[in-house]
Amino acid sequence: MLEGLDLDVPRGGFVLVTGPNGSGKTTLLRLCAGLYAPTAGELEVEVERGAIGFLAHEPLVYRELTALENLDLYGRLYRLSERRERAGAMLERFGLWRARNERAGTFSRGMLQRLALCRTFLHDPDLLLLDEPFDGLDAEGAHLLHSELAERASVTALVATHDPEALAARSTARLALA
């Protein structure tokens, strides 16, 4: 699917990946995350698994667990200290504090996206791999995401997006897939 790709992302770089549907944006992100193995060529990611924040199309949360329980589980798996506190803080930052004890299955599309973002940023990753982060977000949600990214200015990021202008100010490079 992805062919002839030669990409080098320096630490602190913020790369926007654009392209039409099916051009391989999601595949590229999954390759970098380590979920796919390349069938040809070389891939080197200098960041270990626990320092990667991956946002997929699906929110990657359990519908029958509450927002807090989901983040608590991920906090446990990512070996975070004070994970309850951090989970709570994260939920507040994305405006989900009041819904913290509701099951994720009751969330709207926008809330699920916010919860997924909480999950992505929870462990303060060094490398962000975001697949359409603004999908489903309302104006307030988008604003919260911008603030979050602003606070993590030193992070390295690869962001697949339909709307590069929203993040144009922050980006250091663009990659257009055909």
Partner 1 sequence: MSAYAGDVAALARKDLLLEVRSRDTLPAMLLFVVSALTIFHFALPAGSSERAETGLLWIAIVFTALLGLTRAFAPEREEGVLDGLVLAPCDRSAIWLGKTIGMTAFLVLAEIVALPAFALFFHPLSWELVAAVALADIGIASIGTLLAAIAAASRARELLLPLLFLPLAIPVVIGGVGASIASNPGSFLGFLVLYDGVFAILSWASFEYVVTE
Pick the stretch among 14-22, 70-78, 86-94, 155-163 that binds partner 1 (CB under 8 A).
70-78
The DSSP code sequence of the chain is ---S------TT-EEEEE--TTSSHHHHHHHHHTSS--SSS-----S-GGGEEEE-SS----TTSBHHHHHHHHHHHTT-TTHHHHHHHHHHHTT-GGGTTSBGGG--HHHHHHHHHHHHHTT--SEEEEESTTTT--HHHHHHHHHHHHHTTT-EEEEE-S-GGGGTTT-SEEEE--
> Which one, 36 or 97, has the nearer CB to partner 1?
36
> Which one, 34 or 164, has the nearer CB to partner 1?
34
With CB under 8 A as the contact rule, the residue among 12, 20, 41, 50 that binds partner 1 is: 50
Which phi and psi (to 5°) does residue 128 adopt? -105, 130
With CB under 8 A as the contact rule, the residue among 24, 25, 28, 54 that binds partner 1 is: 54
Which of 44, 67, 60 lies closest to 127, judged by CA? Answer: 44
If one asks whether residue 162 binds partner 1 (CB under 8 A), the answer comes out as: no
The CB-of-37 to partner 1 minimum distance in angstroms stands at 4
If one asks whether residue 42 binds partner 1 (CB under 8 A), the answer comes out as: no
The CB-of-59 to partner 1 minimum distance in angstroms stands at 6
If one asks whether residue 58 binds partner 1 (CB under 8 A), the answer comes out as: yes
**Considering only residues 89-128, where is the footprint of partner 1 by CB under 8 A?**
103-104, 119
> Which one, 54 or 94, has the nearer CB to partner 1?
54
Applying CB under 8 A, the residues found at the interface with partner 1 are 33-37, 48-50, 52, 54, 56-65, 69, 73-74, 76-79, 103-104, 119
